[in-house]
Chain A
Amino acid sequence: GAVVSQHPSRVICKSGTSVKIECRSLDFQATTMFWYRQFPKQSLMLMATSNEGSKATYEQGVEKDKFLINHASLTLSTLTVTSAHPEDSSFYICSARGDSLNEKLFFGSGTQLSVL
């Protein structure tokens, strides 16, 4: 199956700093990428949808100025958590889809963010 690479897998940062998470589709062109966050023992919560070359669409309650998403190419999307605080500590997961019909979503391995 297709491969989605997410980096870093784990990051620890101080409160107030910004953290960038990268999501790459390695063997297909990702027309759309999705960003999720997941708290312990909870399900995945969709944060935003990003289409290559256009602004991301954020879900209700997700601050777009807090979680900056850039999808500059068909193989790369980035999520930047700006001015991170301890409550932003979470597991962040990206996923990507190609253009073929009947497609499945492919997920990255996730990034565990811990804000001290």
Chain B
Amino acid sequence: DAKTTQPPSMDCAEGRAANLPCNHSTISGNEYVYWYRQIHSQGPQYIIHGLKNNETNEMASLIITEDRKSSTLILPHATLRDTAVYYCIVRALNTGGFKTIFGAGTRLFVKA
């Protein structure tokens, strides 16, 4: 699976949009971009995933560049409860035994 690079930490003001970048310059054509987050002392939570089109759900939006070498997760109106570690993962669906390997992630601090 392709490697991802994320900033180690970011701050965001409550109520503002949080934009979390991810670089995945070695992504393959069959690899999807997944985002998970982990709130302290809990298991990771799925947020969103996409292949090449931008995606939106009730939690977030995912913007993938045309060359697919990077993406941005957008939390449109961050709240204090969005403080967590956010993991960007690229993974093909049917290779490698479906293993999901986590990188270091971005620690997002939402401040009042």
Chain A residues within CB distance 8 Å of chain B: 1, 4, 6, 32, 34, 36, 43-46, 49, 57, 91, 93, 95, 97, 101-110, 112
Contacts and interface: CB of A to CB of B under 8 A. Distances in A.
Nearest to B48: A104
Interface stretch (B22-30, B62-70, B76-84, B92-100): B92-100
Most buried by B among A6, A43, A101: A43
Nearest to B101: A46
A112 B104 contact: no
Given A43-B102, A46-B100, A49-B97, A110 B34 contact: no
Given A93-B43, A105-B46, A109-B43, A43 B104 contact: yes
Interface of B: 32, 34, 36, 38, 41-46, 49, 85, 87, 93-94, 97-105
B103 A32 contact: no
Given A32-B98, A43-B87, A44-B102, A93 B44 contact: yes
A107 B42 CA distance: 9
Is chain B's binding surface mostly helix, strand, loop or mixed? Answer: loop
Nearest to A10: B41
Contact of A106 (B32, B46, B93): B46
Given A43-B105, A57-B97, A104-B49, 4 more contacts: A44-B38, A93-B43, A105-B46, A106-B46
B98 A107 contact: no
Given A34-B99, A43-B105, A110 B43 contact: yes
Most buried by A among B38, B93, B104: B38
